[in-house]
Amino acid sequence: MSGNRAVAYKEPGVVEIIDTDYPTFELKDGPGVNPANVGRKVPHGAILRTVTTNICGSDQHMVRGRTTAPQDLVLGHEITGEVVEVGPDVEFIKVGDIVSVPFNISCGRCRNCKEQKTGICLNVNPDRPGSAYGYVDMGGWVGGQAEFVLVPYADWNLLRFPDRDQALEKIMDLTMLSDIFPTGFHGAVTAGVGVGSTVYVAGAGPVGLAAAVGAQLLGAAVVIVGDMNEDRLAQARSFGCETVNVSNGDPKEQIAQILGVPEVDCGVDAVGFEARGHGKDASHEAPATVLNSLMDITAAGGSLGIPGLYVTGDPGGIDDAAKHGSLSLSLGTGWAKSLSFTTGQCPVMKYNRQLMMAILHDKVQIAKAVNAKAIPLEDAPRGYAEFDAGAATKFVLNPNGYVKA
């Protein structure tokens, strides 16, 4: 093999399909690759022919120019693939396996990995704990919105599907295991959702919808989803959620109309640092809005799951503080109500096998919930543009034709 095609970030608002190198078992220099990782040998890796690779809201932050992502960075951290080559140190993963790739890159050897904290692996990013494919400041591992991709520590990282035919039949659901389904589920788990819980999920994008599905799977009595995009709210209602439109004002009063009380047991932030205000301020960016609102509407002693992305560097931040990830939080509210907070990358491997089993045994239809749609790799620029414009769709790239019409 000598060629590969991939989706690359070019400039704010622009992605293109580029010709790039076929992966090898050594990290090469390139856009976004950490200099300390250049030349790193990967005998424990596998090369995948991509089956599906999804466009994520986290990718959109980069494409909007809201990070320090360099030009020609190959995007994509939501990857499902077929193994076509394995390195000499790979023992259990075999050529021909259909596998899900957790978006967190982890070694399986460090203290954090051994404690299931795979989102903050200590050995894969020279700059700080935690890494991901095709993402700025995450070590420079090449992204998977491509025909082929390298996965390190293959025996550890890859989740092998038990039956090839079944996997391909359910691929539009299984493709969500690389990120958004575990991430949304993690948001619900860390918010303390259980049987009979009332839950508010801020954000009706794919992660918010996945969090809502996760809350239902955990036994929530009522799941309320808030957003200002009516198409996305309609998608939430399609699988049994209540909804509030935050452009009509603070969600507190609307929650009271649904539940009879103006608070919920559990709160999930699936929006992140590009949050906007509520009501008359809905047209203005106000990055602390969701977090402060969740502290206000979550019952005393409750928990907040925060899978929404927050960054330490935002060139488009509304002020100097926001540009460095400093937000005006009402921490006093959180303290007074004894609220618990969980932030950071979802440790995908903590959940992906269990969620795979739920999919394979027809306990959940995550692709339907997030309105998944497969498109060719060449249509990635259109997918990015439509998603950025608010389409109530989870775009799944199909670079090698595995997903049939």
Could you report the per-residue pLDDT of 35-76, keeping only the tens digit for each? 999 999 999 999 999 999 999 998 999 999 888 899 999 999
Question: Beta strands 14-21 and 3-11: pairing type?
Answer: antiparallel
> How would residue 319 be classed by pLDDT, with cut points 50, 70 and 90?
confident
Is 88 exposed, middle or buried (CB count within 10 Å of its CB: 0-12, 13-18, 19+)? exposed
| Domains parsed from the chain with CATH numbers | 3-179+348-397 (3.90.180.10), 180-343 (3.40.50.720)
Return d(Cα 231, Cα 229) in angstroms, integer.
6
Q: Is the pLDDT confidence value at 1 over 70? A: no
pLDDT at 121: 97
Q: Is the pLDDT confidence value at 333 over 60? A: yes
74 alpha-carbon distance from chain centroid: 17
Return d(Cα 137, Cα 66) in angstroms, integer.
13
pLDDT at 327: 86
Amino acid at 281: D
Q: Is the pLDDT confidence value at 263 over 60? A: yes
Return d(Cα 157, Cα 87) in angstroms, integer.
14
Give the pTM: 0.96
pLDDT at 86: 98
pLDDT at 279: 85
Residues with Cβ < 8 Å from 172, sequence gap 6 or more?
A: 52, 367, 372, 374, 396, 403
CA distances from 290 to 136, 201, 210, 327, 361 (A): 24, 10, 18, 11, 35
Q: Is the pLDDT confidence value at 2 over 70? A: no
Mean pLDDT of the chain: 95
